[in-house]
């Protein structure tokens, strides 16, 4: 870890300790979000039941086997391992994830003799979580649109699909165990809102801003996709060894962490959305999903060559770099050491 990064983390720890002792910080800090606009790019499937009414055609490329990780098919936030409790090294070493190919469409029509999926009524808490996600997505739109415009480009707003249990995407089928992910083929972020509860309970990263960080990270992958980075990385991974392909994946993920920090920088500058403790929430969430911490918890030791998302220290460092600088140019994780 670089000295300045270590210093920032130590300073943050001191702040957290001081506030806890003084009793000035509640157990779960609330980000101010209720009065902001909601994005219109949200598709809420949570009341539609968890079954798949249609099928995907073909069996497309996979993560696993020989070669790279196939980032162009499905970008998963480092949660596929820790949301399921599966050893991350197992996922990297042998398991396969069906990604779907460009021609693998899906049908939403009910098949003959098949019952429609059960409907359910959303609770007040469900609706609140949906509103929160829509607000965060709207703020990412309002941050990235002018940044792209300043570079003479047009920002294409991603969609956000909220689901419960299971759903379908242009990249293939997904369920709650997959964790939040971004599908480049349909340019949508997919999120089972029950994940927010798991973020609090399993990974001890409570609070609104920790949840907002997760959404902003996935939108960061959309930014990477729009600037052409994901396609370039996928091409390089096809020619790389597994260890080298994993190393490229780490740089993609750390860049998304940094881009989440850029969003937080501009959102707070424009709307003063942050309260005491919010930054610590995001940094705790970033640290909780480091490959080293997850592997240590799962198997008692780490396998650095299998890392695909970066260490806890790296994730905190790059989120903080985006937060402090607020510039996409400062998020170049493909230059030099990380």
Instruction: Spell out the SS3 assignment of 251-310.
Output: HHHHHHHHHHHHHHHHHHHHHCCCCCCHHHHHHHHHHHCCHHHHHHHHHCCCCHHHCCCC
Q: CA-to-CA distance for 298 and 284, rounded, in angstroms?
A: 19
So what's the pLDDT on residue 103? 41
Listed as ranges, residues in the chain with pLDDT below 70 are 1-31, 49-120, 203-206, 285-299, 301-307
In a domain, 80, yes or no: yes
In a domain, 2, yes or no: no
So what's the pLDDT on residue 312? 84
So what's the pLDDT on residue 268? 93
In a domain, 62, yes or no: yes
So what's the pLDDT on residue 63? 29
Q: CA-to-CA distance for 322 and 332, rounded, in angstroms?
A: 10
Give the DSSP H/E element, type plus range, for residue 321.
helix 312-325
So what's the pLDDT on residue 53? 34
Q: Which residue(s) pair with 160 in the sheet? A: 42, 189
In a domain, 18, yes or no: no
Instruction: Calculate ∠ Cα 168-212-166, nearest 5°.
Output: 20
Contacts of 289 (CB under 8 A, 6+ apart): 77, 78, 79, 82, 203, 309, 312, 315
Largest Cα span, the chain: 64
Alpha helices in 68-153, H assignment, sequence order: 79-82, 88-93, 124-150
So what's the pLDDT on residue 13? 36
In a domain, 111, yes or no: no
In a domain, 236, yes or no: yes
So what's the pLDDT on residue 70? 41
Q: CA-to-CA distance for 164 and 172, rounded, in angstroms?
A: 16
Q: CA-to-CA distance for 215 and 242, rounded, in angstroms?
A: 28
Q: What is the DSSP letter of 229?
A: H
Helix, strand, coil in percent for the chain, rounding step 5:
50, 10, 40
Strands 166-169, 172-175: parallel, antiparallel or unpaired by DSSP?
antiparallel
In a domain, 38, yes or no: yes
So what's the pLDDT on residue 296? 62
**The pair of three-digit structure tokens given for residue 74, joined into one six-digit string:** 């499905």
Contact in structure between 323 and 264 (CB atoms under 8 Å): yes
Number of domains observed in the structure of the chain: 1
So what's the pLDDT on residue 309? 75
Residues spanned by the domain of 168: 29-102+116-331
Q: How many helices (H) and strands (E) does the chain have?
A: 11, 9
The predicted model scores a pTM of 0.72
In a domain, 97, yes or no: yes
So what's the pLDDT on residue 196? 86
């Amino acid at each position: 870890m670089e000295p300045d990064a270590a210093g920032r983390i130590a300073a943050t720890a001191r702040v957290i300790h001081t506030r806890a002792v003084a009793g000035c910080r509640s157990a779960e800090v609330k980000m101010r979000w209720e009065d902001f606009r909601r994005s219109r790019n949200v598709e809420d499937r949570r009341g539609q039941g968890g079954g798949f009414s249609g099928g995907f055609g073909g069996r497309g490329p996979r993560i696993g086997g020989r070669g790279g990780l196939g980032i162009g098919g499905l970008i998963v936030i480092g949660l596929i391992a820790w949301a399921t409790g599966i050893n991350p090294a197992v996922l990297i070493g042998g398991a396969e994830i069906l990604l779907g190919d460009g021609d693998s469409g899906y049908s939403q029509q009910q098949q003959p003799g098949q019952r429609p999926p059960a409907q359910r009524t959303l609770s007040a808490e469900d609706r609140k979580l949906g509103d929160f996600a829509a607000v965060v997505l709207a703020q990412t739109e309002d941050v990235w649109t002018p940044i792209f415009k300043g570079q003479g480009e047009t920002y294409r707003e991603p969609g956000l699909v909220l689901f419960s249990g299971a759903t379908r995407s242009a990249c293939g089928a997904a369920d709650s165990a997959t964790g939040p992910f971004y599908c480049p083929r349909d340019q949508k972020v997919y999120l089972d809102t029950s994940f927010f509860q798991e973020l609090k309970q399993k990974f001890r990263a409570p609070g609104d801003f920790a949840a907002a960080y997760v959404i902003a990270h996935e939108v960061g992958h959309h930014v990477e996709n729009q600037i052409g980075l994901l396609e370039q990385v996928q091409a390089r991974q096809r020619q790389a060894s597994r260890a080298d392909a994993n190393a490229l994946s780490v740089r993609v993920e750390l860049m998304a962490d940094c881009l989440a920090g850029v969003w937080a920088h501009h959102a707070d500058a424009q709307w003063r959305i942050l309260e005491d403790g919010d930054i610590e929430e995001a940094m705790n969430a970033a640290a909780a999903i480091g490959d080293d911490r997850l592997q240590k918890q799962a198997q008692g030791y780490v396998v650095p060559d299998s890392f695909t998302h970066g260490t806890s220290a790296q994730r905190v460092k790059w989120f903080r770099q985006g937060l402090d600088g607020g510039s996409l140019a400062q998020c170049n994780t493909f230059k030099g050491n990380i």
